[in-house]
Structure 1
Amino acid sequence: MTWLQVIVLSVVQGLTEFLPVSSSGHLRIVSEMFWDNDAGASFTAVIQLGTELAVLVYFAPMIWQILTGWFRGVVNKQHRGQDYRMGWMVIAGSLPIGVIGLLFKDAIRDGLRNLWITASMLILFSLVFIIAERTGKKTRSFEELTMKDAIIMGLCQCLALIPGVSRSGGTISGGLFLGLDREVATRFSFLLAIPAVLASGLFSLPDAFSPTAGQAATGLQLLGGTAIAFVIGYASIAWLLKFVGNHSFEWFAAYRIPVGVIVMILLATGVLQPL
């Protein structure tokens, strides 16, 4: 990979990781459009560590509170409050994507990266956003989250393994269908992504240097890309949390659908290649 490619893709990662527009889908499209090549799922997984570090820093007080509450509850039954339950909810909600990611890792790194699939998911999953926004009650608070909510949102997170769906889009839509407030669903989506993204990035690190599919990157390029993704990702979190307080996710559907249509036209005319 060239440094220009690393910088551009890292900026795209930082901008799109937390927005429900699919960062993996955008990285796949930009790679093919400008470099006629797929950077690869392993490169994507590694630079996601930068955006996930942004989550750790931005939500550090909340994460620390949940961690300490969970450990206190494990040691002493008298301290099993909301933070203890939240810790278990994050763990339980993270398990589905870990299991499915390992079982289908070859398909994720190869077959599912077909741009026809990416474009189709950009369009089709936008309809899910619209339905979730219009049918979800959006009344339940953070304190009302249950283990059932966590598991359902965790299953929805598995859809993000398909480029074009969006990790945040899948989990937030699941939360809206469950009646959660839009900001509550968004915040829990961020927490739910931490174990999955960290595990995926660390697991993919060796393959990023000598990928079985995609392009190889040097250690310095991976470090630089991760740093860029962190800075831009941190700003994206702040913007999204302000946005969802007063705006519908249908705005993102209005962006995703034209992008999906454009990609399909470029594929049909041979400007872009599906693989």
Structure 2
Amino acid sequence: MPFLTLFLAAVIQGLTEFLPISSSGHLILLPRLTGMADQGLIIDVAVHVGTLLAVVLYFWPDVRSALAGLLRLVRGKVDTPGARLALLLILATVPVVVAGLILKLTGVDEAMRSTAVIGWTMLIFGIVLYVADQRGREDRVAEQWTMREAWIMGAWQAVALIPGTSRSGITITAARWLGYRREDAAKLSMLMSIPTIIASGTLIGAEVAMTANAQMALDGAIAAALSFVAALLALSLMMRLLKSISFTPYVIYRVVLGIVLLWLAYG
């Protein structure tokens, strides 16, 4: 595969996975707007692996705590912050896994991969994010996350299976509606991405494992490394900026891109 294709797919995935602007929507648009060949499932899996490694590294103390807590959770004990976090992440992942399987088995997921759908979701959920960010309270922190809120944010996360919605964007929106501070909303969203990326990567990876060869494996490794670097930079920048600015810049980008895509789809 041409290096330019690998580079663009990896950097786009890395930069957009954790920003509330939809990585899947941008990856779908890449071949349509540039005329380049589709990067394929193997590269999609590889770039997701790269972003997974980035978020695990960035939030390693929380991830380590959740992993230790998972061992206690398996033994039926929820007596530590790590075990509680592990339980809440599992609960928040259930809706998107169930919805994803349903869409996959029915074939509806392919029907939603259109420029018009991405345009509408970019526009609509960008506006929803703006309203939630401007009107949401800021009196809750990540450590106060509850089972009820995990279910609610998990249900919102399932909506992100519609291309252009943005997994991080919709979960941040949900957290802001629930009253979480911007930094804590983003933190919960990023932590929720870990089991979600693992689940989706496992599902897609199983499809492509039998077709991979040495060259595809090398292309995948390059793409994963590039997306890791891009994701780590984007994640670090966003978390720093949230201490001083709102999500409005991302909303503006979504609205402008949504309008352009709708113009292309219907014009």
Q: Residue in 1 aligned with 2:165?
A: 165
> Do the aligned residues in 1 keep the contact of 2:46 with 2:221 (CA within 8 Å)?
no
Q: Which runs of 5+ in 1 are unaligned?
A: 212-216, 270-275
**Distance apart, 1:162 and its partner CA:** 1.2
| TM-score normalized with structure 2 length | 0.90
> Do the aligned residues in 2 keep the contact of 1:11 with 1:232 (CA within 8 Å)?
yes
Query: Runs ≥4 in structure 1, deviation > 6 angstroms?
Result: none
Q: State yes or no: 1:81 paired with 2:80.
A: yes
Which amino acid counterpart does residue 258 of structure 2 have in structure 1? G
C-alpha distance in 2, partners of 1:200/1:70? 20
Which amino acid counterpart does residue 236 of structure 1 have in structure 2? A
> Do the aligned residues in 2 keep the contact of 1:138 with 1:182 (CA within 8 Å)?
yes
**Distance apart, 1:129 and its partner CA:** 0.6
* SS of the residue 1:179 aligns to: coil
> Do the aligned residues in 1 keep the contact of 2:93 with 2:192 (CA within 8 Å)?
yes
1:96/1:245 CA distance change after superposition, 3 Å: same
C-alpha distance in 2, partners of 1:47/1:201? 10
> Do the aligned residues in 2 keep the contact of 1:46 with 1:208 (CA within 8 Å)?
no
Q: State yes or no: 1:254 paired with 2:245.
A: no
C-alpha distance in 1, partners of 2:94/2:41? 20
1:109-132 Cα distance to aligned partner (Å, 9 max, x none): x11111110011110111111110
**Where do residues 86-235 of structure 1 align in structure 2 (5 Å cutoff)?**
86-105=85-104, 106-108=107-109, 110-208=110-208, 218-235=216-233
1:164-217 Cα distance to aligned partner (Å, 9 max, x none): 110100111000111111111111111111111112112212434789xxxxx8
1:21-45 Cα distance to aligned partner (Å, 9 max, x none): 0011111122211125544566434
> Do the aligned residues in 1 keep the contact of 2:73 with 2:87 (CA within 8 Å)?
no
Paired residue total: 262
Identity over aligned residues, as a percent? 33
Q: Residue in 2 aligned with 1:23?
A: 23
1:221/1:28 CA distance change after superposition, 3 Å: same
| TM-score normalized with structure 1 length | 0.88
C-alpha distance in 1, partners of 2:45/2:188? 21
C-alpha distance in 2, partners of 1:254/1:2? 33
Between 1:96-105 and 1:44-53, the stretch displaced more is: 44-53
**Distance apart, 1:251 and its partner CA:** 1.7
1:41/1:174 CA distance change after superposition, 3 Å: farther
C-alpha distance in 2, partners of 1:70/1:17? 25
| Root-mean-square deviation over aligned CA pairs | 2.1
Which amino acid counterpart does residue 91 of structure 2 have in structure 1? A
1:41/1:252 CA distance change after superposition, 3 Å: farther
* SS of the residue 2:19 aligns to: coil
C-alpha distance in 2, partners of 1:73/1:30? 41
